Amino acid sequence: MAKDHFMERNEFELLTGYYSPVSDAYMKEGLAAAMHRVKMCQLAVESTSDWLMVDSWEPRQTTYQRTAVVLDHFDEELNKTEGGILTKSGQRKPIRIMLLAGGDLIASFGHPGVWDPQDLHHIVGHYGSVIIERTGTDVYGFLLSHDILYQHRMNVTVIKQLIHNDISSTKIRLFVKRGMSIKYLLPNPVIDYIHAHKLYSYTK
């Protein structure tokens, strides 16, 4: 949906998108080990996409990396180390880096103590965000009510869901745990990997 949005408007040339799985230090209950999540993301993009990639810097870290720091990592690698994108004219231009997120993640910006206000200014003000609507989330209403997001609203792109989809990683994990089918919810190589490594299975 994000790719279609930018292609239709021809405002930016979309170069690539990166999955950046969180490290084991995040300590979220129910998550598989980072090595497995990286592999599943790699299997997913290899079988379904010609523009998405997986970056393993964040999951390799031994401490939790805030989202603002992860975006700084991409800026460092793509713009400072690589020098940006080489254009047809032979000049290099900086790559615009943005956080792609679902409306449910953006809603967490308003939860007290979850996000540091300075990080939010850095993420949305310096980089910008592309928000995909999620079923049951009023993204526009949240943008209006959240002071920091409203301040940087011109740096936020909201993409309307044309087909409603409330599939989430949490639901996938629960389906596997309960022995329910996840066919058609994930690419087949990822489903095979989950079963082969007995991820998310219920154990007594």
Q: CA 77, CA 134: separation in Å to the nearest integer?
A: 31
Quote the number of domains for the chain.
1
User: Is residue 94 situated within a structural domain?
Assistant: yes
Q: CA 94, CA 51: separation in Å to the nearest integer?
A: 19
**Average pLDDT of the chain to the nearest whole number:** 92
Mean pLDDT of 65-92: 94
pLDDT at 119 over 80: yes
Mean pLDDT of 128-154: 87
DSSP state of 161: -
- Domain extent, residue 86, equals 68-166
The CATH number covering residue 115 comes to 3.40.50.620
pLDDT category of residue 202 using cuts at 50, 70 and 90: low
Q: Give the max Cα distance, the chain.
A: 62
User: Is residue 113 situated within a structural domain?
Assistant: yes
Mean pLDDT of 181-193: 96
pLDDT at 68: 97
Tell me the two tokens of residue 105.
């993640």
pTM of the model: 0.90
pLDDT category of residue 203 using cuts at 50, 70 and 90: low
